[in-house]
Amino acid sequence: VSKEHHGNWLEAIRDNKDPIAPVEEAHRACSACLLHHISMKLKRKIYWNPDKEEFKNDKEASAMLARPQREPYSVKA
């Protein structure tokens, strides 16, 4: 039981333990929200491949999956 998921997430990082909510489920829930937002912005259907985590033949939608990050918080590929 957790009264505060964000705090539990920070504790899990600090203590090198799994959080109460499974990470994969949280990722998929967040993905659903992001995909809905992209579809709303584009005002059309989008086609998502959940196994590859990419859009099917849609460069415009794919460009909306990331944004420029400011240093020192960027992630290098």
DSSP for residue 3 = S
Selection from 50, 47, 53 nearest residue 65 by Cα: 53
Structure-token pair, residue 27? 């990722």
pLDDT tens digit string along 17-38? 999 988 898 899 999 999 999 9
pTM, full prediction: 0.72
pLDDT of 46 above 90:
yes
Structure-token pair, residue 40? 């709303």
pLDDT of 61 above 80:
yes
pLDDT of residue 48: 96
54 neighbors 62 (Cβ within 8 angstroms): yes
pLDDT of residue 77: 67
pLDDT tier, 41 (very low <50, low <70, confident <90, very high otherwise): very high
